[in-house]
Structure 1
Amino acid sequence: MKGKISLLLMLFFTVLTFAQKTVSGKITDEDGSAIPSASVTIEEPGKDAILAYGITNSKGEYKVTFTSSEPNVDLKVKAFNQKPLTKQISNSDQTLTFKMQSEATEIKEVQLKTKMITARGDTIAYDLKAFDSKSDRTLADVMRKIPGIEVNKDGSILYQGNAINKFYVNGKDLMEGGYGTINNSLPKDAVQKVEVLENHQPVKILQDKVPSDQAAINIKLKNSVTMTGRGEVGTGFGDPWLWNVKLTPMFFGQKSQWVVNYKTNNMGEQVENEGNILAFGSGWEGKRINAAQNDWLNVENASTPNLPVKRYLMNSVHYLSANYLTNIDTKKEWELKANANYTNNTVEREDIVETIYSPRNDKPGSTITTSTRNNFYTDKVKGELIFTKNAKKGFFKNTTSFSQFWNADRAVATRVGRIGNEAVESPTSSFQNSLSTIIPWKEKMVNFKSYISYQDDKQSLEVSPANYLQILYKNPVADSATAINFAPGTSVIQNFRLKTLETSHSANISFSKKGWTFTPQVGFDFSSKNLDTRFNGTAIPNPAIENDVAPSFEGPAYQNDLRFTEFNPNASLGINYKSEAWSIFANAPVNFNSIKAEDELRNVHKSLNKTTFTPNLFVQYSFASFWKASLNGNISNNFGDVQSAYAGYMLQSPGGFSVMDPNNPIPQTNSKSAGSRIEYRNPLNNLFFNVNYSLSDSKKNLLASPILDINTGFTLIQYREQENHAKSNRLSIEVGKYFPKFKTNASVSYSNTVSKSDAFLDNIQYLSKNNTQSYGFKLNNTYFSWMSLDYNLNFSRNKQDNIGLNDKGGRLGINKGFNHNLGAFFYPIENHTIGFNWDQVNTSDGQNKYNNAFYDLSYQFTWAKKKVDFELKWMNIANRKVFETYNINQATNSVAYTRVQLRPSQVMFTVKFNFK
């Protein structure tokens, strides 16, 4: 670990030792008046490549930092109505003042040609027209072609490989992180440009005081008041009858904004995730979460293939959402936001899996075939109310949210000749309130934060007939793990309830001086979790064991009545520094952890009192206009949860019981991680790239030690007290460039991840090792007027070993994957578009190959006057009904050959339109 940290430091400081030089000064006209907005660039002689650039401020002052091995460089100055100036200067630090001669700038034509990418400070602006193609309709369609930006199917955005922290439209944050709806439905014709706000601190009072390493996106519309939106209505042929409806009207004004969204389909499109919180802003704004259930009990689930969701999702979804923002004061500092959404979704899934358990030491292997047919029912509603004041002289934000779930899952599973019907009911109620305020006090800032959360989870799992199960338990007579036999014609029911209360309160005061901000903070966190479980079933003696005693489920061994509490007073010192070149964030918290786990049923009383120091650090250095280098590191501690402290048997899934030893201590995990990053982004030549290296080490005091019945695949999950480690290191590289002459955006990527972890299986200790390599290539081209092309390629290789568990060196297997997506659009006649899409997903275990190809064909006619599209689309032309693949499961020392049911061939007719 120390050697790898040294490597990180060498990588970082190698960058800092580059021969950086700075040229500064002032630009004036012939009369000595300052010239603002003049561009100053540094270039190597004889080369058409800009090393660095700067823009003069209102006083005509400039400052440019660059790196070059040449003894001399060219300095060029350009300004409107001034004669361009070029001077060769020495490669050294110096101050130069220039006086420019007046010269009228001739405008040859009346129309103005805008630059497709412009940069000013930490803001990079992209002219959307420079990147779109004839087939693009929405903002997300075009943003996928912008260099340095990635857009996922749910609308989430990555910039330089990292998630953004805010998404604005005309400077307002209507969606509060759930921006997928706008990104996927805002017509491109309404957008003037996309702005990337690098190093964005969303809390205005903290700007220039507390740095940020994340970027934000601001969508600048053509009009300050815009009524727009996108709609689709489609129907199709298939089994059953197909439909697809999308209606998303939007309004963006100077005082208020709103978006209403209704989407429904049964043709395999996953629209319900667009409302998820994708950007979480700054920790100074308080705490926001994607409310979710504590899913402890589950039916057996059919596999999901590594395919685009539209290929396998058998769904029937209705998703309705509404978002509203308005200013409630004349200064437009206070905002009220109200968000609500409702989801009703039904999903069907089916698979067949052949699992081969490898021999280990003296135990033979086996092969088990299982099949699972699922029905998942989602019914949930969420409401949120947010009051915000975000001004230079103060900050206030209160977020109140409520969520209710009425979910249910069903499964029919077949295993070693047994058929079981499984059902889970899981209603959940959830409430959260988060408050954060920052008050200026003379030269200081005082911040108060408060978070309260309450959640009530109820679940029940029923399996019928009970003798489908082959559950393992610790037999007190045989002193080993044996199987429970259930009475024929009976059912088993596992009941579960968890009540969770979490609170967090803190106060801090910030002092700022000469770019430094010091923030001492005190606070306390408290959480209480009450777990109550019961298992009901009728067991009979196992005839294979002499004098076997069938377990009684009436006793405490199969019940839980656990109260798990955590009290955490804490104190910390935050240190921030912000200058033109440096950004530093450090936090040094001390936590006083007091944890109790009490179970009166089995007279268990566990406690832990421990003081921990968990510092974290982020350092970023910007140099030569286009370069950034950063280091980060942190130490964290986790002391388990109620999920790792219960001591009674619980049937969390029909695959087997889970149980914790009452004599085991409270789980403890100590994690250390470090990372470095070098980033280059040059909007002048449209080149972007980044290199990342990270490593981590997690130390735990408890190690999972499952017992596996390789004849049925059922397991007993238990834990043993033993120090163990999970280590990983990852290297990733991404390079992207836009070629304006060819209207082509291309990028290549590479990543290599190595992970090692201690593991146990059937009382055998071993080392689980995993090495994954991935290569990627993306290309977008709109050069030809008659065609546009999108191509994505990914190749992966995953080698997995269980050293010490398997014979012959521990090799478990190699999993190779190859997938690509080709989207081509042809425009043979004006307003007519022919589209072709090809998805190819291949996997291999080195001997067997599984090739899965999918083809789609579409024809679209555009009624240009009304801006309406009529599309006829044929999906899965080859009518592939089954996806075949190969996977490795290190935890069970097995490989699995899987066949998953897919959506059949289908034809859709869709009308697409803008609301205005």
Structure 2
Amino acid sequence: MKKIKSVLILVLSFNTLFSFAQQGPTVPKIKITGRVVEKISKQPLEYATITFLAPNNPKPIAGGITNPKGEFEIDIKPGVYDIKIEFISFKVNEIKQKNLKSNTSLGLISLEEDANQLNEVVIRSEKTTVEIKLDKKVYNVGSDLMVKGGTVSDVLDNIPSVSVDVEGNISLRGNENVRVLIDGKPSNAINIAEALRLIPADAIEKVEVITNPSARYDAEGGGGLLNIILKKGKNLGLNGTFIASTGYPEIYGLSGTLNYKSDNFNLFTTQSYNDRNNPGNAFTNSRYLNADNTTRDYIYETRENARNNKGYNGNFGVEWYLNKSTSWTNSINYRKSNGKNKDDVFQNYYDSGFNFDYTRNRINNENSDSENVEFATNFIKKFKKDGHKLSIDGSFSTNDDVNNAIITDKDTRTSLVKFDNTRNDQTQSRNLLQMDYVLPFGKGSQFEAGYRGDFSKLLTDYQVDNDGVINNDFTNTLEYKEKVNALYTQYGVKIKKFSALFGLRFEDSNIEINQLATNDFNTKKYNNFFPSAFFTYEISDKSSTSVSYSRRIQRPRGRFLNPFTNLSSNINIFVGNPDLDPAFTDAIDFGYIKRWEKLTFNTSLYLNKTNDSFQFARRESGNFVNGTPILISTPINLATEFRTGFEFTLNFSPYKWWKLNGNFNFFRNETQGDFTYTDFNNNKISQNFDNTATSWSTRLTSKITLPYKIDWQTNASYNGPQNNAQGRSLGVFGANLAFSKDIMKDKGTLSFNISDVLNSRKRIMENNLPGIVNSYSEMQWRERQFSLSFTYRFNKPKNERERPRQNQNEGEGDYQG
């Protein structure tokens, strides 16, 4: 579409100049404006062409194309014209013998879909990979070969600025304080990493990357937001896509999206089932120290994980068009999964001279079951004035996760076998209510206001018994209640080439953290204002610059708060901290974008300051296993964290058959603070966490069309090393390959993927605690994987430009400027 747009601009500009030269510059021009929309939905049509012709003369005199809002503004000489309005796969709209003497608005021009063209034409031009908006970047993922037969996690790991580590944790520009939204709402899953592995990649339409969110969005997420937009069907009639996949290590998957759309309603559904094996491995080599840092002994620990997960994800919804200006959408989503994880741990013990002593073997056999049900409703009312609308949303869900494990423990010195049983039963309910109101006024101005109420409750019942005896040190019921009421308002204005968006959000938080087993009740109440401001200046039609500011919050949840945790390792234990306070971030972002014919360059410089940031501290617990100290890792609040960095993204198409996308991110992270605690000997210990670390990451994607129309895509990424106060993480390189071939007259596609070609995607850590331990560890969550998928489409061209659906709610109130 970019190339079509460029050609149209060149041709129309040439004709306009030629006409100007013929007629002479003495006659003043007039300005003709208007807006082009889809007839049924009234949604704007970007890149629609408007051509002015002299009556009875087919030669164009002037013309132009519409912007993302469907608007056009064209200068012509006064006269009588035939006007032609066109858009691909739509019927042409013609205005004959229009006498234009002064500045004139043609008003709202509606185009109707041409059913014959829709059934016959396959448009090979792909939708723009990235759309740059005032407060976010939107990535359309439909042409990404790497995600065929994959999941949402695979999609996110292929998006610039976003990284998914070996355990499924998501970071944005190196910052893990990221809020994940699905269709503009917080995910209702207890374990978001596992939930994202259940949703098929084909169910995703696009991903919005919001590094500096405006006041319209939930203030949660110090590092930014990721909004995953799911498909709901856009094309008239019955159409759909089905994908079957298999691979090694064993993966089997079947998914399908189906929708039926008429003038009055749209039915849509996504159904998927997958059976995945994800073998993993890890090892930790530890040298334990005396107080004078001499060697006391060694423990070398190895792990083998055999993970299997079977999951179903399905949704069904109906979008009902009550009239031309009102729609009501209701949907039900159901997810269910069960998994088995065998964690086989061998600990080899050596004395101070590294002479072998004995081996301990711990086997953790874990079974997990998860079930989630969500009902969502959305009501949109559009008023007469374009862009004036009211939307009301509701989401109501429940989520149950149950994990049972039997841990056997034995060593070579004795025939005695110990048994530990653990049970972790988590139940979460979440209710969300939201209302947004948008009112455009004047020329280029817009007012927004809204309310959001987010009410959730999580009950975690964790129990451990040792050989049939309850272990009260690890048994507890934690109740977490969160009530957040928010109000926001925004005002946007555009004056010529300058755009501004000002916002203010107020959130009232009421948090309860109750440890029922120990009768420890804790309530935290706080309310805060979150301002935001965005400024953009269009240097030219090919370049623009921007600056933005926002204030964010990161609330501790889940395992960060629960002081009772699992026992997969008996010497390295993670313990939550129920006294954690929220962290607050002030973020500033400077951006610049420049477009050439074959190259797009986008860069940003960002500065974040976080107060009470979360950090992880390791210390001795005071307990020992056969003389080896048990080390505890726990999250704490540190005083201040400063994060500065810059990133740039390049989209380059040197030839029609070759596309390159590159991303580079560099950041500097500085923490300032001291951690003081009382150890098991009642001594007051103070650890200085002042630390400065730099790191960088880069990603390169190459997509080449080979002979016989075979698409070949290569992704390569590198995450650089990074220091922290108690050690460092080492750099990791990874690469993926994918090949794709259309068959069955473009109705089918075969794709072959190799994930982690070099089997190198690992988390590699070095930890150094003076007087306690030095350790080196590597962890690989998923080993190299091969997969083959087959996609079949019916009544749906492969790369057609999908029409805007009639009343999509995500990004409501986006102020484009």
Of the candidates 395, 398, 412, which is equivalent to residue 451 of structure 1?
Answer: 395
Asked whether the 8 Å contact 1:37–1:58 carries over to 2, the reply is no
Asked whether the 8 Å contact 2:30–2:76 carries over to 1, the reply is no
Query: Does residue 436 in structure 1 map to residue 378 in structure 2?
Result: yes
What is the alpha-carbon distance in structure 1 between the residues aligned to residue 732 and residue 31 of structure 2? Answer: 55
Query: Does residue 423 in structure 1 map to residue 365 in structure 2?
Result: yes
What is the alpha-carbon distance in structure 1 between the residues aligned to residue 300 and residue 140 of structure 2? Answer: 43
Query: Does residue 154 in structure 1 map to residue 151 in structure 2?
Result: no
Query: In the alignment, which residue of structure 2 is the partner of 1:536?
Result: 465
Give the deviation of 1:905 after TM superposition.
13
What is the alpha-carbon distance in structure 2 between the residues aligned to residue 600 and residue 396 of structure 1? Answer: 42
Query: In the alignment, which residue of structure 2 is the partner of 1:322?
Result: 256
Q: TM-score, normalised by structure 2?
A: 0.61
Residues 793-833 of structure 1 deviation map (CA, whole Å, 9 limit, x = unaligned): 6666425253xx6xxxxxx568456667899x9xxxxxxxx
Of the candidates 541, 553, 557, which is equivalent to residue 637 of structure 1?
Answer: 553
Query: In the alignment, which residue of structure 1 is the partner of 2:100?
Result: none
Give the deviation of 1:633 after TM superposition.
2.7
- Residue type matched to 2:594 in 1? Y
What is the alpha-carbon distance in structure 2 between the residues aligned to residue 726 and residue 466 of structure 1? Answer: 44
Aligned length, in residue pairs: 619
- Residue type matched to 1:462 in 2? I
Query: In the alignment, which residue of structure 1 is the partner of 2:594?
Result: 680
Give the deviation of 1:645 after TM superposition.
3.7
Query: In the alignment, which residue of structure 2 is the partner of 1:411?
Result: 343
Residues 479-512 of structure 1 deviation map (CA, whole Å, 9 limit, x = unaligned): xxxxxx9994231112121221111223344332
Give the deviation of 1:756 after TM superposition.
3.0
Residues 827-851 of structure 1 deviation map (CA, whole Å, 9 limit, x = unaligned): xxxxxxxx9xxxxxxxxxxxxxxxx
Give the deviation of 1:688 after TM superposition.
0.9
Asked whether the 8 Å contact 2:51–2:60 carries over to 1, the reply is no
Give the deviation of 1:410 after TM superposition.
0.9
Query: Does residue 734 in structure 1 map to residue 649 in structure 2?
Result: yes
- Residue type matched to 2:346 in 1? T
Query: In the alignment, which residue of structure 1 is the partner of 2:268?
Result: 337
Give the deviation of 1:623 after TM superposition.
3.6
Identity %: 10
Query: In the alignment, which residue of structure 2 is the partner of 1:254?
Result: 236
- Residue type matched to 2:272 in 1? N
- Residue type matched to 1:679 in 2? I
Give the deviation of 1:679 after TM superposition.
1.0
What is the alpha-carbon distance in structure 1 between the residues aligned to residue 710 and residue 409 of structure 2? Answer: 59
Asked whether the 8 Å contact 1:252–1:258 carries over to 2, the reply is no
Q: Is 26-35 or 563-572 further displaced after alignment?
A: 26-35
Of the candidates 486, 489, 496, which is equivalent to residue 424 of structure 2?
Answer: 496
Query: In the alignment, which residue of structure 2 is the partner of 1:517?
Result: 446
What is the alpha-carbon distance in structure 2 between the residues aligned to residue 867 and residue 527 of structure 1? Answer: 44
What is the alpha-carbon distance in structure 2 between the residues aligned to residue 570 and residue 904 of structure 1? Answer: 45
What is the alpha-carbon distance in structure 2 between the residues aligned to residue 446 and residue 638 of structure 1? Answer: 29
Structure 1 unaligned runs (5+)?
1-23, 39-53, 61-78, 86-94, 103-136, 168-176, 185-194, 200-212, 220-250, 268-313, 469-484, 540-551, 806-811, 826-834, 836-859
Structure label with greater radius of gyration? 1
Asked whether the 8 Å contact 1:36–1:56 carries over to 2, the reply is no
Give the deviation of 1:253 after TM superposition.
6.2
Asked whether the 8 Å contact 2:203–2:257 carries over to 1, the reply is no
Give the deviation of 1:324 after TM superposition.
1.5
Alignment of 1:274-293 (within 5 A): none
Q: TM-score, normalised by structure 1?
A: 0.55
Give the deviation of 1:260 after TM superposition.
2.5
- Residue type matched to 1:766 in 2? F
Query: Does residue 573 in structure 1 map to residue 489 in structure 2?
Result: yes
- Residue type matched to 2:458 in 1? K
What is the alpha-carbon distance in structure 1 between the residues aligned to residue 569 and residue 775 of structure 2? Answer: 21
Q: What is the DSSP-based 3-state SS (H/G/I as helix, E as strand, rest coil) of the residue aligned with 1:717? A: strand
Q: What is the DSSP-based 3-state SS (H/G/I as helix, E as strand, rest coil) of the residue aligned with 1:628? A: strand
Query: In the alignment, which residue of structure 2 is the partner of 1:896?
Result: 776
Q: What is the DSSP-based 3-state SS (H/G/I as helix, E as strand, rest coil) of the residue aligned with 2:690? A: strand
Q: 1:782 to 1:98 in 2, by over 3 A?
A: farther
Q: 1:429 to 1:774 in 2, by over 3 A?
A: closer
- Residue type matched to 2:258 in 1? Y
Query: Does residue 756 in structure 1 map to residue 670 in structure 2?
Result: yes
Alignment of 1:614-633 (within 5 A): 614-633=530-549
- Residue type matched to 1:518 in 2? F
Give the deviation of 1:518 after TM superposition.
2.0
Query: In the alignment, which residue of structure 2 is the partner of 1:505?
Result: 433
Asked whether the 8 Å contact 1:394–1:440 carries over to 2, the reply is yes
Q: What is the DSSP-based 3-state SS (H/G/I as helix, E as strand, rest coil) of the residue aligned with 1:378? A: strand
Query: In the alignment, which residue of structure 1 is the partner of 2:764?
Result: 887
Query: Does residue 597 in structure 1 map to residue 527 in structure 2?
Result: no
- Residue type matched to 1:522 in 2? Y
Give the deviation of 1:731 after TM superposition.
1.0
Alignment of 1:332-411 (within 5 A): 332=263, 334-350=265-281, 353=283, 355-356=285-286, 362-364=292-294, 368-389=299-320, 393-411=325-343
Q: 1:674 to 1:27 in 2, by over 3 A?
A: farther
Give the deviation of 1:528 after TM superposition.
1.8
Give the deviation of 1:430 after TM superposition.
0.9
What is the alpha-carbon distance in structure 1 between the residues aligned to residue 538 and residue 754 of structure 2? Answer: 48
Of the candidates 526, 533, 541, which is equivalent to residue 610 of structure 1?
Answer: 526
Q: 1:486 to 1:613 in 2, by over 3 A?
A: farther
What is the alpha-carbon distance in structure 2 between the residues aligned to residue 343 and residue 262 of structure 1? Answer: 10
What is the alpha-carbon distance in structure 2 between the residues aligned to residue 589 and residue 905 of structure 1? Answer: 45
Asked whether the 8 Å contact 1:451–1:504 carries over to 2, the reply is yes
Provide the alpha-carbon RMSD of the alignment: 5.9
Q: What is the DSSP-based 3-state SS (H/G/I as helix, E as strand, rest coil) of the residue aligned with 1:153? A: helix
- Residue type matched to 2:653 in 1? Y
Asked whether the 8 Å contact 2:733–2:761 carries over to 1, the reply is no
Structure with more relative contact order (C-alpha pairs < 8 Å, separation 6 or more): 2
Q: What is the DSSP-based 3-state SS (H/G/I as helix, E as strand, rest coil) of the residue aligned with 1:734? A: strand
Give the deviation of 1:356 after TM superposition.
5.0
Q: What is the DSSP-based 3-state SS (H/G/I as helix, E as strand, rest coil) of the residue aligned with 2:308? A: strand
Give the deviation of 1:325 after TM superposition.
0.8
What is the alpha-carbon distance in structure 1 between the residues aligned to residue 641 and residue 435 of structure 2? Answer: 35
Alignment of 1:737-816 (within 5 A): 737-740=652-655, 744-746=658-660, 749-757=663-671, 763=685, 764-774=687-697, 797-800=720-723, 802=725, 815=730
Structure 2 unaligned runs (5+)?
1-15, 34-46, 64-73, 82-121, 133-138, 149-154, 163-171, 173-179, 184-197, 211-224, 349-358, 680-684, 796-817
Q: Is 510-519 or 423-432 further displaced after alignment?
A: 510-519
Query: In the alignment, which residue of structure 2 is the partner of 1:699?
Result: 611
Q: 1:714 to 1:580 in 2, by over 3 A?
A: farther
What is the alpha-carbon distance in structure 1 between the residues aligned to residue 341 and residue 448 of structure 2? Answer: 48
Give the deviation of 1:903 after TM superposition.
8.2
Give the deviation of 1:56 after TM superposition.
8.8
- Residue type matched to 2:364 in 1? E
Residues 261-320 of structure 1 deviation map (CA, whole Å, 9 limit, x = unaligned): 32233x3xxxxxxxxxxxxxxxxxxxxxxxxxxxxxxxxxxxxxxxxxxxxxx2x22212
Q: What is the DSSP-based 3-state SS (H/G/I as helix, E as strand, rest coil) of the residue aligned with 2:517? A: helix
Q: 1:584 to 1:319 in 2, by over 3 A?
A: farther
Q: 1:575 to 1:496 in 2, by over 3 A?
A: same
Query: In the alignment, which residue of structure 1 is the partner of 2:202?
Result: 181
Q: 1:424 to 1:80 in 2, by over 3 A?
A: farther
Give the deviation of 1:590 after TM superposition.
1.2
